[in-house]
Structure 1
Amino acid sequence: MPLLDDRLIPVFDEVITRNPGETEFHQAVREVLESLGPVVAKHPQYADAEVIRRLCEPERQIIFRVPWTDDAGRVQLNRGFRVEFSSALGPYKGGLRFHPSVYLGIVKFLGFEQIFKNSLTGLPIGGAKGGSDFDPKGRSDAEVMRFCQSFMTELYRHLGEHTDVPAGDIGVGGRELGYLFGQYKRITNRYESGVLTGKGLSWGGSQVRTEATGYGTVFFVQEMLAATGESFDGLRVVVSGSGNVAIHAIEKLHELGARVVACSDSGGYVVDDAGIDLDLLKEIKNEQRGRVSDYAERRAGARYVAGGSVWQVPCDIALPCATQNELNGTDAKALVENGCRIVAEGANMPTMPEAIRFLRDAGVRFAPGKAVNAGGVATSALEMQQNASRDSWTFEHTQERLADIMRSIHDRTLETADEYGVPGDYVAGANIAGFTRVADATLALGLI
């Protein structure tokens, strides 16, 4: 492991002690702290005021039970979470994840990352995350509705357009957000559109929000290529996942001239050297809720590999867009051996620490999720702007705003890396740029 600055070792030790067993949270904190040595050397006031230590402790952690009845009338029980990490820059902002893997450590790692991601956008939003160990897969619409209503009946008291504004994440799409917003409206007797983002276009949503994380990921990589005088033309790209982020990343990659040759789901991966047929993939995943194995059965020339690793497929650019810790050291070695030049995280913390070190040591340009996939929350903030002004923007205008924000994040990341003596280091640049903005605001507001 890279060494921590001596002034930061007690901070990390305290995180481990105060949050036992929360391995994903420990990983996220360490990854940021490893970048902050040059910062505390140049600006010792950050260490002296213990602002780093304060940012590692959430302002508020909410855990609650969620009872609901299934279609057979049986009582089911899940656990709900909302970790409100930092409101120094604005109201808490971050998604809700419904997945069996969700526990406090997952929510805290996501919320901690969200602080710096939201800071990088330059928009006035704080950091939070939430969710439940509820699994919407295989549940009827009526069951999902009853769960969402029970979840919101507890959570609503902590939300508000100037307080805490959730959005969707894994397992929380338009259906779930509709049920959540409907229950919030019913309980509060207020049509407070800005309390949730990712809403449907007919009831306060924003154009491009559905596409934003995937599109934003590609816009960021486009800037990485432009920085060395390159473009997407003719490049082979591998994308992990086949959900919302992956599908819209593939869509924008094809539009910009790249050829996406592989994608995956939890069962395995599909390789299509002619380029993924996006219409077919959307039909299978969005309409039929099928698997990528179905794609291979219906697409001539495509082949499906059960299990295994999509990172074995040769490519110029790899975009992990599925879930945390999906790309390990062995995968990183395969990518390097097959000529991969850029890895950019469309998901949250999908690359394991040993894989990041291997890629960077091998000269692969690596960009972290807090910078690369910030387009989703940036467009959520644009949705909040539209809700506040009772306005609605065109797709083209919103996409242009998104592209501008991603360009700004990219440029700020590289400029910050240069300023702190680590030129070209996207990880350090993103961590330092995100940290300094929120740290300055925290100090300005006093002991919060």
Structure 2
Amino acid sequence: MADMKQYVQDTLDLIAKRDPEQKQFKTTVSKVLETVVPVLEKHPEYKEQKILERMVEPERVVSFRVPWQDDKGEIHINRGFRVQMNSAVGPYKGGLRFHPSVNLDILKFLAFEQVYKNALTGLPIGGAKGGSDFDPHGKSDNEVMNFCQSFMTELYRHIGPHVDVPAGDIGVGGREIGYLFGQYKRIRNAYDAAVLTGKRVDYWGSLARPEATGYGLLYFVKNMLDDKNISLKDKILVISGSGNVATYAIEKAQQLGAKPVTCSDSNGYVYDPDGIDLEAVKEIKQVRRGRIKEYVKTHPQAEYHEGCTGVWSVKCDIALPCATQGEIDLESAKKLVANGVIAVGEGANMPSSLEAIDYFQQNKVLFAPAKAANAGGVAVSALEMSQNSERLQWTFEEVDNKLKDIMANIYRSSKTNAEKYADPDDLVAGANITAFVKVADIMIAHGVV
């Protein structure tokens, strides 16, 4: 075991030497590789084939300038990226993020995580991530279109239905996907519908795609609870966020008989002891694009609280962070445990700090890690690719049933490998090991490439 721990440490030292400024990437890789040491011990061929060194180095990193003009005629220059991390399992697949915080460090750690998440789905997709430090907030439709067209004018050279299939992420929704797809179609003079996912249904997006991450989260959590003979029915759920993930997590939770009592946005959170009125939330956030505090105007029994972290002080049985990265820190985890939480399911990307995850596991809280629990979104994106290839559009029920099966398979494989190599309830290790073995074995089969 000591030999393989040293192999992991040598790999981390290599990252630090080559890219000392990429601290987020190194931290993410470190936490993943620590969990696969037992696998390396049983399979020394992974070390012989230098799998770790190959897995942490992107196959390709593309960086480019994105010039665009605003409505006043002023020219702006942003920076664009695409990190094509690993294509062993299939074409690169992963979102585009438009946000001022975007840099190579963030995109590399997200791309590394995406490889593992995509492998867990069992579908033929590799992992990538991309985006720009462009901020779409406050920009007109015309300005966003100008930026997206300029961004795609460079990116189109590096993507394609059998090469790399981007999707949306923070700052990239249906509007941005539409502009990106239109420019790709224009440049390529071809209707390659499968080159982008997250498209609108009327130009060959998939039904159930908006619901997929939230629904998939509940399917995974239900599998986790069922395994312990715990019913989801009548459980009190605290959910953060009010975007697609949170909205459809609330919807599916209610369909399964649970009672979500909170939701939030960047300003604060709402607590409704009677259970969240989902139609009111959809009206506020999806139709009017308003703030969640408007909820209490028509629901006098509800409370609105400024600030987001307080949502984790609300007493609950199950907590589902569905808002943003790093929203549950150690103090929030302690409050949840003190209030008797029995399970936590991550709907957002890496919403719990490493210290918080450790605390949950130490206190025997059932924990569903993001790369497994929120894989429903990318799973349905891959199903969208399949539909585009077939020139067909499946019904909502067909997609939802496939999603349900995929999430059950992710849970079972993660549980099996947790039992084989780690603690039976350590789904973090189980998910990492499942994905690692799949990707590593295929990399070996492909030779030294």
TM-score past 0.5 threshold: yes
Change (3 A) 1:293 1:20: farther
**Cross-structure match for 1:168:** 168
Q: Report deviation, 1:308.
A: 4.8
Aligned partner of residue 97 in structure 1, secondary structure: strand
Which residue type is aligned with residue 371 of structure 1? A
Q: 2:249 matched to 1:249? A: yes
Give the 4+ runs in structure 1 shifted more than 3 A: none
Which stretch of the first structure deviates more once superposed, 321-330 or 152-161?
Answer: 321-330
Q: Report deviation, 1:334.
A: 0.6
CA contact (8 A) 2:316 2:340 kept: yes
CA contact (8 A) 2:4 2:41 kept: no
Q: Report deviation, 1:4.
A: 8.4
**Separation in structure 2 between the aligned mates of residue 15 and residue 321 of structure 1, nearest angstrom:** 31
**Cross-structure match for 1:151:** 151
Q: Report deviation, 1:188.
A: 0.5
Aligned partner of residue 343 in structure 1, secondary structure: strand
**Cross-structure match for 1:99:** 99
**Cross-structure match for 2:394:** 393
**Cross-structure match for 1:89:** 89
**Cross-structure match for 2:447:** 446
Q: Report deviation, 1:27.
A: 2.3
Q: Residues 279-358 of structure 1: matches in 2 within 5 Å? A: 279-309=279-309, 310-358=311-359
**Cross-structure match for 1:380:** 381
**Separation in structure 2 between the aligned mates of residue 244 and residue 250 of structure 1, nearest angstrom:** 10
Change (3 A) 1:270 1:427: same
Aligned partner of residue 95 in structure 2, secondary structure: strand
Q: Report deviation, 1:421.
A: 4.0
1:86-142 per-position Cα deviation (integer Å, ceiling 9, x unaligned) = 000110000111122211111111110010111111111000011112122221111
Aligned partner of residue 63 in structure 2, secondary structure: strand
Q: Report deviation, 1:236.
A: 0.8
Q: Report deviation, 1:391.
A: 1.1
Q: Residues 35-434 of structure 1: matches in 2 within 5 Å? A: 35-309=35-309, 310-434=311-435
Which residue type is aligned with residue 404 of structure 2? A
Which stretch of the first structure deviates more once superposed, 142-151 or 155-164?
Answer: 142-151
1:172-206 per-position Cα deviation (integer Å, ceiling 9, x unaligned) = 11111110000000000010001001111111111
Change (3 A) 1:431 1:228: same
Q: Report deviation, 1:279.
A: 0.9
**Separation in structure 2 between the aligned mates of residue 140 and residue 179 of structure 1, nearest angstrom:** 13
1:184-231 per-position Cα deviation (integer Å, ceiling 9, x unaligned) = 000000100010011111111111111111111111001011111122
TM-score (norm: length of structure 1):
0.97
Aligned partner of residue 46 in structure 1, secondary structure: helix
Which residue type is aligned with residue 127 of structure 1? G
CA RMSD of aligned residues (A): 1.3
CA contact (8 A) 1:4 1:33 kept: no
**Separation in structure 2 between the aligned mates of residue 298 and residue 186 of structure 1, nearest angstrom:** 47
Aligned partner of residue 237 in structure 1, secondary structure: strand
CA contact (8 A) 2:368 2:428 kept: yes
CA contact (8 A) 2:422 2:429 kept: no
**Separation in structure 2 between the aligned mates of residue 380 and residue 30 of structure 1, nearest angstrom:** 28
Q: Report deviation, 1:63.
A: 1.4
**Cross-structure match for 2:16:** 16
Change (3 A) 1:369 1:292: same
**Separation in structure 1 between the aligned mates of residue 18 and residue 215 of structure 2, nearest angstrom:** 38
**Separation in structure 1 between the aligned mates of residue 100 and residue 257 of structure 2, nearest angstrom:** 37
Aligned partner of residue 6 in structure 1, secondary structure: helix
TM-score (norm: length of structure 2):
0.97
Q: Report deviation, 1:314.
A: 1.2
Which residue type is aligned with residue 53 of structure 1? E
Q: Report deviation, 1:49.
A: 1.4
Aligned partner of residue 266 in structure 1, secondary structure: coil
Identity percentage of aligned residues: 57
**Separation in structure 2 between the aligned mates of residue 19 and residue 245 of structure 1, nearest angstrom:** 33
**Separation in structure 1 between the aligned mates of residue 272 and residue 17 of structure 2, nearest angstrom:** 47
Which residue type is aligned with residue 340 of structure 1? V
CA contact (8 A) 1:119 1:437 kept: yes
Aligned partner of residue 273 in structure 1, secondary structure: coil
CA contact (8 A) 1:46 1:439 kept: yes
**Separation in structure 1 between the aligned mates of residue 292 and residue 20 of structure 2, nearest angstrom:** 37
Which stretch of the first structure deviates more once superposed, 280-289 or 152-161?
Answer: 280-289
1:332-362 per-position Cα deviation (integer Å, ceiling 9, x unaligned) = 1011001111111111111111111111101
**Separation in structure 2 between the aligned mates of residue 416 and residue 271 of structure 1, nearest angstrom:** 38
Which residue type is aligned with residue 43 of structure 2? H
**Separation in structure 1 between the aligned mates of residue 281 and residue 24 of structure 2, nearest angstrom:** 31
Gaps of 5+ in 2: none
1:287-341 per-position Cα deviation (integer Å, ceiling 9, x unaligned) = 2221112223332211111115121111111111122112110011011001111
**Separation in structure 2 between the aligned mates of residue 434 and residue 405 of structure 1, nearest angstrom:** 14
Q: Aligned residue pairs: how many?
A: 446
